[in-house]
Structure 1
Amino acid sequence: MKIERIVAIPYEIPYVRPLKFASGEVTTADHVLLRIHTDTGIVGVADIPPRPYTYGETQASIVSVINGIFAPALIGMDPFNRQSVQQTLRRTVHNNTAKGAVDIALWDVIGHATGASVWSLLGGYAPSMRVSHMLGFKEPELLLEEAQRFGSEYGVTTFKLKVGRRPIALDIEACHVLREGLGEDVQIYLDANRGWTANEAIEVLRRTEGLGLAFLEEPCDAKEAMGRRRLVERSTIPIFGDESVPTAGDASRELLSGGCDGICIKTARTGFTESQEVLGLSTGLGVDVYMGNQIDTQIGTIATVVFGAAHEATSRRAGELSNFLDMADDLLAEPLVIRDGRIEVPEGPGVGAAIDEEKLAHYRVDGA
């Protein structure tokens, strides 16, 4: 079997409402659908979410690097030779989500070629994954209403609170309101998206002590190396790396330098192969992990579920799997369902992301 053709299809789907966080705001899912065609007729699929304000990738740059660099280098290679593919991709620095999608699409090809689900090939640990829901920048009472609605409608009991782009007093108030309104059995954690200094993060943790917050994600920029180390040493809850750990090498640096003591894994930026490297590094060091979200569509969410549910360590915590509910539509032929706070692993071979061709034709960017 050989890779015959690689196609990058840009498309745009509007959000029901803007998604806001400390590092930016998005109103449209301007993603890229990746398809890897083989000479046997098997096609692997993956979704690519640009994050220009975080990683510098745009829809146009993703299409360009795939068409101009990755496709010419990969055509003719055996999809099963994943390490050779990885070595080829690593000749080009950065472009993490484009690389991650190539890897996921190749795993999809391998699954279909062998008749096995990628979930089982990766480890096949659990049949489903618990869902964490992201709470954005709203007044504390509105955040509580949203959390309560997701609890009653979807059975979600874990919530990420976005913080860091407003006065810290408002973030602290939101923490108190959510804990009081949701009770002790609901898990709450924070994500500042590099929106604080280390000292501001220390102050927030001091004023929320006793609320039972699970952990704090990416409080300040990785360049604040001494500040991050001081924060980790003083914090009574784990400090997780996200934007600071986009590769296995970055994760190693942050963990060994004391910049964080937990790792967020996102299949959209490390695919399945490098995500396993990050996972192995973390478990070897006794470090907790959880599955994050790259503002994923349902296609990307399926990839997260498949990887997260396949491994014991990533199944311990709820994964961020609900962002697709903020999108007006999706390309997936069989929509995902959140039931009793969980998403089931899709049945059948491959990753399990079948595309609705009519929707793709409708949302693809003109001329693509």
Structure 2
Amino acid sequence: MKLAGANFYRYSLPCAHPLELRGATIDRRTGIVVAIHGDGAAVGYGEIAPLPQFSVETLDEALASARRCIQFLERRAGASPATRAALRDREPFPPSVRFGIECALWNLAAQSNAKSPADLLAESPATRVPVNALITTSGAAAADAAESAAHNGYTAIKLKVGRVAIESDLESVRGIRRAIGEGVEIRLDANRSWSFDDALEFARRVADCEIAYIEEPIDEPHRLDEFAARSPIPIAVDETLQDAGWARLHEWRQAEFLDPFAHVPADADPLLRAILAARAWVVKPTLVGMPLTYLAHLLTKQRRIDADLVISSSFESGLGLVALANLAACAGDGALPAGLDTAAWFGGDVLDAPLPIVSGAIDLAGANAIAARFSPDGLEEVAND
């Protein structure tokens, strides 16, 4: 595929609700939109938005890396014009850069083939992508929010825990279960807030509330496999995947350690053991850097792991959310609720309309139609150095 250059545009979105990220308060979300030009008038857009306090790379570092990435792709396309432009699995670009560049190339290829992005990676993608309702309050407010979400068709609730006293979190979980009854999934996310013993006590005391999993329950990730063996509630990994990084995950994949029923050495990396002990992987491509094709293969079961895969947002703009929705749709009609209920945190967007969430699910065709109208005209173009 011939590439005809790229442009970069900076965005800055006000937060409708301040983002509390590892002790820092963020009132604006900033990022870069990359526009990759193909043959003719085709343009593919992607979003590069390192998340403060979580991403290793800064926005300026990501921009510089993205420029180098485009140069590599242009040279490669010039040498092999018949080959589809793509990043190779082991190329060491920062996670946010890989996500943004791959999304732009994915979008460009979809246009060239007159398909939606999801149709390009999966034979029978879902037309509706369920999402979990994100709740960050506690007590009666959390129960009210969960009841409203269930009434509006959401089939999964994600509650942030570990920010208040354990007794308060216990009451929040019980109040939510009473409010929504059976049939709606409850997911908990502790963001490594608890000690091993406190997390285990919490898990035992809410075991009767039918919890799907607790995400990153303890502040000692190297003990997650031990915790999983003792907890009555399954665990999910998020930050642990980020700590491992794509380079190590790729090595473990090549060694077949991530495959179901794999034989793992007794002296294996504690992070590998933690990942293998998880019921679910909560994957935020902006932060973990997994190639989109690998994730699509997991979602379509062309490759298998012994865990559920939950695609999740790192508070991207609507442009990034549409890309993530297309990725999650690759799982087909059995797609698990994705962690994409984040648009309400912003007081504006780069898209001209909010994503259509109806009965707790994103209408993919509607979302793609909105993304297709995107224009960078209102954004600040970043000049070449």
Alpha-carbon contact 1:23-1:194 (below 8 Å) kept? no
Alpha-carbon contact 2:195-2:218 (below 8 Å) kept? yes
Identity %: 24
What does residue 92 of structure 2 align with? 92
Which SS does the other structure have where 1:70 is aligned? Answer: helix
Change (3 A) 1:98 1:353: farther
What does residue 164 of structure 1 align with? 162
Deviations 1:261-286 (A, max 9, x none): 32123343435223235547896233
| Structure 1 segment 2-81 matched on structure 2, within 5 A | 2-20=2-20, 25-67=25-67, 69-78=68-77, 81=83
Alpha-carbon contact 2:33-2:46 (below 8 Å) kept? yes
Shift of 1:110: 0.6
What does residue 284 of structure 2 align with? 266
Deviations 1:176-220 (A, max 9, x none): 121122222221111112222333221210111100111111223
Alpha-carbon contact 2:328-2:338 (below 8 Å) kept? yes
Alpha-carbon contact 1:122-1:311 (below 8 Å) kept? no
Q: Comparing 141-150 with 116-125, which one deviates more in the overlay?
A: 141-150
Change (3 A) 1:167 1:347: closer
Shift of 1:6: 2.3
Alpha-carbon contact 1:111-1:118 (below 8 Å) kept? yes
- Note the residue ranges of structure 2 that are not aligned, 5 or more in a row: 259-268
Shift of 1:55: 2.3
> TM-score, normalising length from structure 2?
0.82
Q: Which amino acid aligns with 1:122?
A: L
Change (3 A) 1:280 1:340: closer
> TM-score, normalising length from structure 1?
0.85
- Note the residue ranges of structure 1 that are not aligned, 5 or more in a row: none
Deviations 1:236-268 (A, max 9, x none): 232111122143437847555544232123343
Alpha-carbon contact 2:9-2:382 (below 8 Å) kept? no
Q: Which amino acid aligns with 1:210?
A: D
Shift of 1:289: 1.6
Distance in 2 between the 1:220 and 1:62 partners?
A: 30
Which SS does the other structure have where 2:232 is aligned? Answer: coil
Alpha-carbon contact 2:192-2:218 (below 8 Å) kept? yes
Change (3 A) 1:38 1:84: closer
User: What is the aligned length?
Assistant: 356
Change (3 A) 1:273 1:76: same
What does residue 374 of structure 2 align with? 355
Alpha-carbon contact 1:190-1:215 (below 8 Å) kept? yes
Distance in 1 between the 2:351 and 2:82 partners?
A: 26
Distance in 1 between the 2:82 and 2:346 partners?
A: 34
Q: Which amino acid aligns with 1:126?
A: A
Residue 230 in structure 1 maps to residue 226 in structure 2: yes
Shift of 1:319: 1.0
RMSD of Structure 2 on Structure 1 (CA): 3.0
Change (3 A) 1:49 1:199: farther
Distance in 2 between the 1:217 and 1:81 partners?
A: 40
Residue 145 in structure 1 maps to residue 165 in structure 2: no
Which residue, out of 238, 241, 248, partners 1:242?
A: 238
Q: Which amino acid aligns with 2:281?
A: I
